Structures are given as structure tokens and as C-alpha cells.
């Protein structure tokens, strides 16, 4: 599955193939990237939380932490009562009445780090589909109808669509190092339900002829768009499963929920004609590459950056994009992300300039070990027009260095399986 369009595949609604990609406990997964020793241990990431303190709220809790009753949006103080800090993170205020092995690792939200990792995931998603709808920092829909098909693979054991989804999922794990759950279905709402069905690290495929059989036995709150309050109201009407909702009287549903009632009924029946629509043109294009192990070899780093610069410039040209900013990213062990950028006087399409600026910015990190390097062009323009002359380039560094200096918090949304209390869209500038 290299991403080419299979011959004879048509993008008809009946044969649409939608992937819903949902990163599992994304914030915690990012923390494990830079602290591998946290793997398989309870991890809690807090909004408004500072190391050693008891204030703030849980942004995400790993599945291991949830086993102790830690939940998204829970006060950190309450989480600490259920899961005390590990000894190296503990303070005098840390509760100690839990079992010795019931300890967690608490980390403050570092949104810049998470956006950087999300950008790497986003690159894979956009390379894997013709249309991508980015829903949040850890979630996206892909229309891959033109890339694969519902037909069975030659071995007959799985569909081509399942093989393609597995390919996308494995690329994310291999190239970025974070787990994803993927749902595959003929429409968006069913694909969303499928991705939630077998977390974490799941892959669930719902073929066109099996949508009703898949949805009917599920609890009604599994239907996309139904939260606890709506589920309780439906339960009071005798509607407990998706199958019950699919068979419910649409007039009664409209009376109880307005126009949303029949829409939820349609979703329970597997009816969703929405097209996957893109969230707009990207504001940046980037490529990253990890070394087998952290290296201080400047020649090796320069060779990698040169290759990445050439690739990024070629991708920009293929998309008809010019750029005003050229930047690099260097990931220093354990996973400290640092960026540098250079502003230009106007939009250009100059591959040689991308390489020259990237290598010049890299020289600042000559003595630093690097786990990963990346090159990015940003402030993209897709409009036809004259580009800036090369001799108009302003040799002035535009952006700040360490990403960790710029922390932020997101708005809250319900936790629907990924465990993320606060999410925002993939940052198009990343």
C-alpha cells in the first residue's frame, strides 16, 4: 500500500471509505516519548498543574492511571488521593495511604511539545489520504476512497481497506512513536464509533454490509454525538441500545430533542451522508526524520537536514505553494523540542534557499546531540503572483527557540475514549 489510487475505484457514497484516527491518551503518549521509562506506568497530565503542587485539573490520564479512578477533568487534588505521586515527584503534601505500587507520574501540560508531535502525525495523515478533516490535536477523519477498496485481499482474510488502515496506523507508531486507534467504515459517524470500540491501539473495520449488525447491540451512548445527559434522557424513554434508537419513533425523538433527535436516530442506523471536508489549506509543510540513536555528528545532522530541505521544497512546489518562513526543529534527548526560524521579505519558491537557511540555523546546534531533526516552510501562499526576489531576503531570525517556553491550555471537551479533557485543532502552523 504505497498510497497510489487503485484502478477502477470510484468515490460513490455507497463505496466511501472513511478512517477515523484517534490518538490514544495523546498527551500521556507524548510524555512517554521523551521519558520512555514512563511506559506501562500510570501517567497523569494536568492543566494548570505545576510539578509538586496539588492544584489544577486532569487533562488526560493513561489507561494505567484510570485503573485507580483518575479521570479527565478531575481536580489534581482528588487524583492524588486515588493515585499518589511517585517518590521522585513527591512532596510533603502527597498522600501516602495508598498501596506502595499505586503511584503515578504527574506532568504539566506542554502544548507546544504535543503540537510538535501532532504535526508529525498530521504529515502522515495528509500523505495517506486525498481529503483530511482535522478535528482536534489528536483526532482526524480521512477519506481514503481513492486509495483503497472494500474488496477482499488475495488471501481473502481481510479487505484492502483494512490493510490500508493498518498501514497508516503502523506508520504512525513506527515514525512518530505514539499509539493510535483507527476505525474504518462507510461514513464518518460509524468510523468514529469504530475507533472508540477497541481502545487503546485498536483497529476496527465495519464493512458496508455489516453496519447495522455492528451498531445495534452497542449501548446508546456509543452513538457519535450522544453524551451522558442525552443517554439518560433516552434511557427514560426506554432506549438503551443503538438498535433501540434505530427503531425509535422519529416523531417522539423530534419532540424530545428537536431536529437533533432524527439525526441521532439516523446515526444509530448507520446513515450519515456527510462528506469528509478539509479544514483548510495548510499554513506550513514539514518533514522530520529520526536517527537510530541520538547523534552529535554534525556531518550526519547536516546530511539529514539537506535531504529534508530538498523534500520540503519539492512538496511546496508540487502544491503550488510559496513560503515566507524557513525553519528547523531539533529534538534533543530525552525529548526536548527546539525550533529556529528565519523570516524572508516575501514569499519565495527557492529550494536552494531552503537548504541554505536550514543548514545555517542548524549550526547553532553543532555540539548538541539530536534524536530527530526537521525542516519546515511556513506562512504559505497559494495565490498566483510574483514572489519576492532572492536578494530581498532579510537575514533576521524571527522565532524564539525552545518550544517549552510557550505553554498553553485548551478548551475542555468531553472525554470519549482518548482520555483527553482539553484538546484543540491540529495547529496548522505546526
Q: Which residues are annotated as catalytic? A: 139
Using alpha carbons, select from 235, 207, 204, 201 the residue that is nearest to residue 221: 235
CA 245 to chain centre: 31
Residue in the structure block whose three cell numbers are 478533516: 133
Strands 139-143 and 18-23 turn out to be antiparallel
Continuous segment of H or E residues that includes residue 181? strand 180-185
| CA atoms in the 13 A half-sphere facing the CB of 158 | 12
Cα–Cα dist 407/26, whole Å: 16
Which three cell numbers, joined as nine digits, stand for 80?
492524588
Query: Contact 360/372 with Cβ under 8 angstroms?
Result: no
8 Å CB contact between 332 and 371? yes
DSSP 422: B
Residue 397: its H or E element: strand 396-399
Amino acid at each position: 500500500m504505497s498510497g497510489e489510487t487503485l484502478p477502477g475505484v470510484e468515490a460513490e457514497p455507497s463505496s466511501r471509505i472513511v478512517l477515523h484516527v484517534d490518538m490514544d491518551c495523546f498527551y500521556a503518549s507524548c510524555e512517554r516519548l521523551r521519558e520512555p521509562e514512563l511506559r506501562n506506568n500510570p501517567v497523569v497530565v494536568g492543566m494548570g498543574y505545576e510539578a509538586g503542587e496539588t492544584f489544577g485539573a486532569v487533562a488526560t490520564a493513561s489507561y494505567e492511571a484510570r485503573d485507580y479512578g483518575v479521570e479527565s477533568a478531575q481536580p489534581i487534588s482528588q487524583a492524588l488521593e486515588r493515585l499518589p505521586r511517585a517518590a521522585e515527584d513527591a512532596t510533603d503534601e502527597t498522600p501516602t495511604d495508598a498501596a506502595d505500587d499505586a503511584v503515578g507520574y504527574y506532568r504539566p501540560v506542554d502544548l507546544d511539545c504535543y503540537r510538535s508531535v501532532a504535526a508529525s502525525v498530521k504529515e502522515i495523515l495528509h500523505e495517506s489520504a486525498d481529503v483530511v478533516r482535522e478535528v482536534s490535536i489528536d483526532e482526524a477523519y480521512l477519506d481514503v476512497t481513492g486509495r483503497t477498496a472494500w474488496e477482499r485481499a488475495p488471501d481473502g482474510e481481510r479487505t484492502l481497506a483494512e490493510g490500508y488502515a493498518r498501514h497508516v496506523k503502523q506508520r504512525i507508531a513506527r515514525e512518530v512513536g505514539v499509539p493510535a486507534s483507527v476505525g474504518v467504515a462507510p461514513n464518518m459517524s460509524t468510523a468514529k464509533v469504530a475507533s472508540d470500540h477497541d481502545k487503546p491501539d485498536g483497529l476496527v473495520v465495519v464493512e458496508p454490509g455489516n453496519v447495522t449488525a455492528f451498531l445495534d447491540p452497542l449501548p446508546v451512548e456509543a452513538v457519535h454525538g450522544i453524551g451522558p445527559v442525552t443517554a439518560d434522557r433516552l434511557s427514560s424513554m426506554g432506549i438503551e441500545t443503538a438498535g433501540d434508537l434505530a427503531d425509535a419513533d422519529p416523531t417522539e425523538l423530534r419532540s424530545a430533542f428537536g431536529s437533533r433527535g432524527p439525526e441521532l436516530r439516523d446515526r444509530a442506523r448507520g446513515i450519515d451522508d456527510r462528506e469528509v471536508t478539509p479544514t483548510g489549506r495548510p499554513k506550513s509543510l514539514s518533514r522530520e526524520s529520526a536517527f537510530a540513536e541520538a547523534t552529535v555528528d554534525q556531518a550526519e545532522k547536516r546530511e539529514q537536514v539537506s535531504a529534508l530541505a530538498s523534500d520540503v521544497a519539492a512538496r511546496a512546489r508540487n502544491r503550488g505553494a510559496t513560503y515566507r518562513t524557513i525553519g528547523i526543529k531539533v529534538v534533543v534527548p530525552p525529548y526536548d523540542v527546539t525550533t529556529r526560524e528565519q523570516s524572508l521579505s516575501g514569499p519565495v519558491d527557492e529550494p536552494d534557499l531552503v537548504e541554505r537557511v536550514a543548514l545555517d540555523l542548524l549550526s547553532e546546534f553543532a555540539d548538541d546531540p539530536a534524536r530527530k531533526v526537521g525542516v519546515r516552510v511556513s506562512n504559505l501562499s497559494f495565490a498566483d503572483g510574483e514572489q519576492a526576489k532572492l536578494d530581498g531576503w532579510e537575514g533576521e531570525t524571527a522565532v524564539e527557540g525552545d518550544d517549552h517556553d510557550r505553554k498553553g491550555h485548551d478548551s475542555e471537551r468531553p472525554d470519549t475514549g482518548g482520555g483527553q479533557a482539553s484538546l484543540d485543532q491540529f495547529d496548522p502552523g505546526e
